[in-house]
Amino acid sequence: MLFYGTELSSRLMLGTAQYPSPEILADAVRAARAGVVTVSLRRESAGLRAGQAFWSMIRDLGVPVLPNTAGCHTVKDAVTTAHMAREVFETDWIKLEVIGESDTLQPDMFALVEAARILSEEGFKVFPYMTEDLVGAERLLQAGCEVLMPWGAPIGSGKGLNNLFGLRALRAHFPDVPLVVDAGIGLPSHAAQAMELGYDAVLINTAVARAGDPAAMAAAFRLAVEAGQIARRADPMEERDMAVPSTPVLGRAVLA
């Protein structure tokens, strides 16, 4: 699995917001064996000293960092935040978020495509947080994105994969594009389902950070991602409308 030419050690990405303490976050990242952690510039910049300590802790974990533009609602804000993040985190990777609707935190696909084009032309490797929109996906690829991150459900909702048809269609239309389910996953079973659909990775934050035992939940998600990936490779059976007996009926005794 390559993201912009980089092979990750795990298909589980982990967000770093909302944890009860930095120590619990660190334990969760280790338990998840995460391939990437996402970090918000706003979290890093909340306070100079606190931000420096947080960034130092993230570096010590030795996990690749994917900064994000969380909280941005305009192209200008997202592009400016991306430039600041590149300077702070010393990476040209950026998870691009441009929010268009406040209640659901649904991405603004029009602004997202514009921001992705600008950032791609400026040398960023863009990971766009998007809806499961086929036309929008094509526009993002044309804008220079090589990875797509469709939502499963609204951020923090824990509802899982709301639109299975849309997610399957996205996977089928773009078989060679790395796809990551981002947002809405609440249970390890949701993560396994995403992997069974053929997605390349999942990004989890709230479901781990808000669990009673974040490290244990992180470990559960790690195992679920592995199970879903193995199941996909094993070529699962197709669904059927009628029952098919698992025990052969040939040779069965017939009583008159």
Paired strand residues for 99: 107
Return d(Cα 121, Cα 142) in angstroms, integer. Answer: 12
CB count in 10 Å sphere of residue 230:
12
Return d(Cα 180, Cα 132) in angstroms, integer. Answer: 11
Return d(Cα 237, Cα 235) in angstroms, integer. Answer: 7
Q: Are the CB atoms for 54 and 44 separated by under 8 Å?
A: yes
Residue 184 known to bind ligand: yes
- Pick from 96, 135, 134: nearest CA to 112: 96
Q: 207-227 burial by CB neighbour count: b if 16+ within 10 A, else e?
A: bbbebeebbebbbbbbebbbb
Looking at the annotation, which residues are catalytic?
95
Residue 205 known to bind ligand: yes
Binding-site residues for 1-deoxy-D-xylulose 5-phosphate sit at: 156, 183-184, 205-206
Binding residues: 156, 183-184, 205-206
